Amino acid sequence: MSILDDMAALVREAGQIVLSARDIWSHTHEKTSAADLVTEYDEAVEAFLKERLPKLLPGSRFFGEEEAENCDPSRGWVFIVDPIDGTTNFVRGIHQSAISVALAHDRQVEHAVVYDPFKDELFSASRGGGAFRNGNPIHVSTLPLSQGIFGMGTAIYKREYVAPTMRLTEQLFARACDFRRLGAAALDLCNVACGRTEVFFEYSLCPWDYAAGSLIITEAGGHVSTLEGGPLPITERCSVWASNEVNKDVLKELAV
């Protein structure tokens, strides 16, 4: 088995922790606000993956959402992990959440897995090897935005980004058929990768939100960058613009 296969097997196993959740509200507490939540299941998934993933690659390190301050993700081999992306969805019983795992080397993502345990959908990619959903190749769509759907996200606890997010949403909506705000960035990126949507953007995402999805998109023939047009840093919070090839330059025509 390849390291990607091993990662996928562990992430599927961790998905059983998510599916086992009961009475989630009573196992939830606030981090920075009522809109920024963590559950005991987030912590359990992260603990499981922190214990198992580094064993796949001796000498690698672990950069997880719940313990991010304890690792420098900029050097060597690092697993970048969001134990449950879309925690608010998870808490409220909206089945739109995923486990996201990227394996990066010196700031470049080499392998990626995003798993939605509720749909049993596993997206995966290795650099230069293409992108897959449950083992089947995927590719971005070829639709222009005028015939397409865009996704957007905004963290309500990052109030400074609400106004610019709504301005950009209005501009894109004037050009598109429709839009979606689904509340789980890793899955939003995978939706672009497999052609369900044509564009996704968010003004502020953390590495564990975008690291895995960014490789899956590029390996599916798409484009990903910051809203300023630069590469994603992998090591810090940044904006994200993801699209199919047809729409990669739409951003240059908009007021960001």
Whether pLDDT at 39 is above 90: no
For 129-143, what is each residue's pLDDT tens digit? 999 999 999 999 999
Domains and CATH numbers, the chain: 3-137 (3.30.540.10), 145-253 (3.40.190.80)
Reduced to 3 states, what is the DSSP secondary structure of residue 145? helix
Average pLDDT value for residue range 112-129: 98
229 φψ region: left (φ > 0), alpha (ψ -120 to 50), beta (else): left
Single pTM value for the model: 0.94
Whether pLDDT at 156 is above 90: no
For 213-246, what is each residue's pLDDT tens digit? 999 999 999 999 999 999 999 889 999 999 999 9
